[in-house]
Structure 1
Amino acid sequence: MPKRKNSDIKDYTLKNGEKRYKFQTYLGLDDNGKRVMVTRQGFRTYTEANEEYEKLRAKGTQGYTKPKQTTVEEVWKLWFDNYKRHAKEATAHKMEQMYKYHVKPDFGNSYIDKIKPPKIQKWINHLSTTLVQYRSAFNLLNNLIKYSIVMGFASYNPMSRVLVPKKTTKKRRDTKNNYYSSTEEVTKFLEAARNDSEMAYVFFKLLVSTGIRKGEALALKWSDIDFKNNIIHITKTVDVGFHNKELIRSPKTKESTRDVPLSKNLKVDLLKYRSNLYEYIFCKANGEHLSLSTPASWLARIYKNNTELKQITVHGFRHTFATLTLQPGMGNTPKDIQKILGHSTVDMTLNIYTHESKKGQQNVIRSIDALNF
């Protein structure tokens, strides 16, 4: 292998292990007497880098124009165009919203190679006090700067000099109190929901009897329920895509595609409720699935008309299911409930979705059927 003579050309390694080449060279003085240094990188081979090096050296400062600086907004458009081709539409939409509301206002018009660590530090310090998912915003800006380096728009990453603060914001949901801790509380709520509407009653009965997510429930079709074997197949969910348009997509994780047991009481209510000929269980008059905002409207109306009820969120019924089914004496293991909830780890089930029950050590429930809602 011939010895490489150009000592200005250096090799470096990307995070994925691939090798690239770069160089920096002096071209001379421009018309204002300023030194012109150029840097190029991203070459796949030494030969490619050397050819570009020789070309620039031959021209010197003649015809040389300083490369146009690139803004964060321009980098975002390039990066996101590629990202959305591989991500689920709902996921890409969330990323687009994160950029629009939390990155663009502060950095959109900034040249990406001129962003300094102090500005980023001030930005992330403030964001940590106002946004629960502030680390996602930080990671997005970091990815954009890394991408700009690969593309040759910037030469170093100022994010490496920024200290990410610890979380200071509270979660939007009070998970410590966002659940019903006894079957009595659930029964009182379901009675109130039945008085509101049959559809609302069956919807919340479904959530608290299975622990499935709101979007998963709204995406259910009658064909997803195996009444013979008492199984509900969870294979899709309602989510939000581009332009805030709701869509049906596959569940959020691999583990979220699952089968959950159909209790006897829920089965009776579903069969009694099954009076429409439409494919979706919860649908509008034209047969389309309900909007993601509809359950919250039901809940608000139920609580307004029944002020004595403890108020929880729609997601709180998932917490309730996990808490009641994991009580001492229930006979279920965390692994059992993890599979039903569609969690990737047991820790998530135990740390997020379970709470101390009022029934304590009493043998309250021995199976999901015994919940007897």
Structure 2
Amino acid sequence: MSSLVKVLREKYGREFISVEELSGELGVSVSELIMEAKSKKIKVVKIGRNIQLPLKGIECMLSDEELNDNEYQNLLDQVATSTVTSEQEISDERIEVVECDVDMSKGCITYVQSTNRWLYQIDLGKTPDGRRIRKSKSFKSENEAKEALNIELAHLNEISQEVQERGIYWKGNLITSQTKLKDFFEYFLSLRTVKPHTIEGYFETARQIARDLGEVPLQNLTASVLTEFFNNFKKQYAQATINKTFGIFKRVLEFAKECELIEKNPMSNMKLPKTTKEGEVNKQVYKAFKDDELKQVLKACKEYSQCTYTMAKVLQYTGLRPGELRALEWCDVDFEVGVIHVRQAATQEREGMTLENRGTIRAVIGTTKTPYSIRKIPVNSEVLEVLREWQDFIKSDKSYEKARKCEYVFPSTRGGLIGSTGLSVKFRKAMQQAGLHGRGYELYTFRHTFCTNLIKQGVDIPTVQRLMGDNTTDVILKIYTSVEERDLLSATKKLKGYFENRDL
């Protein structure tokens, strides 16, 4: 038994410990502990709203020891049935990540009228993407809540002091105010708790920043230095890139402030720059096919290959994201009911990423963009018939011989998941063969066209949102505005013709 587990058993007098308690003992964040437990496949149990780790599981997590599944399950059953009995211990305690940026590092006491209980809340810091981690616990009386809050604050201050004395190290080097921005950026990104695709975007943003400021020490990143950087940056990039870069950069410097490496965030009072790149100010972002263009594109896809045509028809009537299309399986297509289920998406992960090295890439099946993206999309008989024909084609065509047992609707000819590049290449070649290359047509244009056509048919925004699988209406409303502007222009032209015919 490890010495740490022995100490924990003696200190807490039980065979399990919450991740918050373990976080305090080890001086690491709750999110890091949960990620470590997942990577070592350590099973956990939830009591109320608390995530509990059996001490035996912690022992396995800290070593290479393996635990028999049956033995482990018995431990979990014991934990689950040995529910604590005191009123205070079974009170509403939870750790949550919140969007609110209010600092509660000193804690607060609140009376909750609906439950007739007193609640303390305390800030545990921020995740790397800038959201607050907050802990709360409720009690019968105000005095109990105050006493518990003081104990928690004292415990957190003790941990904070230990961290300060120990210092922060990254790749064997102590991080100080003299640390170069590129090194601190890598340390910041190592604490990621976001999806692999998102962290890849973070690294790309960090590289753009590091090209100009990577060698600058943290303490030298003044407001004037950053203003000069963004004055040049806004001349080269579109507004979407500026928004992303500004937001991430600001969070990194805020994290440096929280680590007490800089006194204040030099970007705290900076305003978001507006792009001045030529051709970007009034650029239409969300392009959709016109009716005659869509006919041309579908005709080109059909003449190029059965696969490309089937993909185009599915995209035309579903508005799927390309990653959702790649991950679509035959079991997701309900031919009897006429529904396509969207429950996963193909994406890519990079391993070993640094600011100098993009690492190795591999295609994986993961979750959809957001939980809201899991949805059912009704489809008509035309789409179902095209899919049946494609299914028969795979069974008969020699080039798909290795893919016949594959579960994916659009597999690679080798029988696995088709890559994002492979999907795009098929469509691009179809456009080139039809002489349509260079017109800005891409797979995502089908999604914007799907949304545009729904709006034109008078479908309400909430229904469009559900079919698109978007958790916000930002993109939909922009497309709606674009459609409305075109309809207004068309209406005024008709009005002009009306008056001309009457010689008015």
Partner amino acid, structure 1, of 2:213: F
**3-state DSSP class of the match of 2:268?**
helix
Alpha-carbon deviation of 1:111? 1.4
Normalized against structure 1, the TM-score is what? 0.73
Distance 1:349 1:80 in 2: 31
Residue among 211, 234, 257 paired with 2:319: 211
Partner amino acid, structure 1, of 2:479: I
**3-state DSSP class of the match of 1:260?**
strand
- The structure-2 alpha-carbon separation of the partners of 1:256 and 1:174, relative to structure 1 and needing over 3 Å to count, comes to farther
Task: Map 1:212-231; keep pairs closer than 5 Å.
Answer: 212-231=320-339
Map Cα deviations across residues 160-212 of structure 1 (whole Å, 9 max, x no partner): 24333223346699646832222x43233212211100000001111111111
Partner amino acid, structure 2, of 1:99: A
Task: Map 1:139-178; keep pairs closer than 5 Å.
Answer: 139-169=247-277, 175=284, 178=287
User: Residue 323 of structure 1 corresponds to which residue in structure 2?
Assistant: 452
2:219 matched to 1:91?
no
Alpha-carbon deviation of 1:112? 0.6
User: Residue 181 of structure 2 corresponds to which residue in structure 1?
Assistant: 72
Gaps of 5+ in 2: 1-100, 108-152, 166-175, 351-358, 395-403, 492-504
Higher RCO (CA-CA < 8 Å; seq separation 6+): 1
User: Residue 24 of structure 1 corresponds to which residue in structure 2?
Assistant: none
Moved more, 219-228 or 246-255: 246-255
Residue among 373, 379, 386 paired with 1:262: 379
Distance 1:281 1:143 in 2: 41
User: Residue 181 of structure 1 corresponds to which residue in structure 2?
Assistant: 290
User: Residue 303 of structure 1 corresponds to which residue in structure 2?
Assistant: 431
Partner amino acid, structure 2, of 1:222: W
- The structure-2 alpha-carbon separation of the partners of 1:191 and 1:172, relative to structure 1 and needing over 3 Å to count, comes to farther
User: Residue 248 of structure 1 corresponds to which residue in structure 2?
Assistant: 365
Task: Map 1:10-25; keep pairs closer than 5 Å.
Answer: 15-19=102-106
Alpha-carbon deviation of 1:76? 2.0
Is the 1:113–1:154 contact (alpha carbons within 8 Å) kept by the matching residues of 2? yes
Partner amino acid, structure 2, of 1:322: C
- The structure-2 alpha-carbon separation of the partners of 1:48 and 1:263, relative to structure 1 and needing over 3 Å to count, comes to closer
Distance 2:453 2:466 in 1: 16
Distance 2:326 2:191 in 1: 31
Higher helix share: 2
Distance 1:68 1:161 in 2: 21
**3-state DSSP class of the match of 1:241?**
strand
Moved more, 162-171 or 130-139: 162-171
Normalized against structure 2, the TM-score is what? 0.55
Distance 2:445 2:327 in 1: 19
User: Residue 237 of structure 1 corresponds to which residue in structure 2?
Assistant: 345
Residue among 260, 277, 281 paired with 2:405: 277
RMSD: 3.1
Partner amino acid, structure 2, of 1:129: K
Map Cα deviations across residues 7-36 of structure 1 (whole Å, 9 max, x no partner): xxxxxxx9431129xxxxxxxxxxxxxxxx
Residue among 463, 467, 483 paired with 1:340: 467
Distance 1:308 1:195 in 2: 13
User: Residue 116 of structure 1 corresponds to which residue in structure 2?
Assistant: 222
User: Residue 35 of structure 1 corresponds to which residue in structure 2?
Assistant: none
Aligned residues: 303
Distance 2:281 2:449 in 1: 18
User: Residue 419 of structure 2 corresponds to which residue in structure 1?
Assistant: 291
Alpha-carbon deviation of 1:97? 1.6
- The structure-2 alpha-carbon separation of the partners of 1:284 and 1:308, relative to structure 1 and needing over 3 Å to count, comes to closer
**3-state DSSP class of the match of 1:159?**
coil
**3-state DSSP class of the match of 2:235?**
coil
Is the 2:451–2:479 contact (alpha carbons within 8 Å) kept by the matching residues of 1? no
Distance 1:237 1:308 in 2: 29
Is the 2:363–2:419 contact (alpha carbons within 8 Å) kept by the matching residues of 1? yes
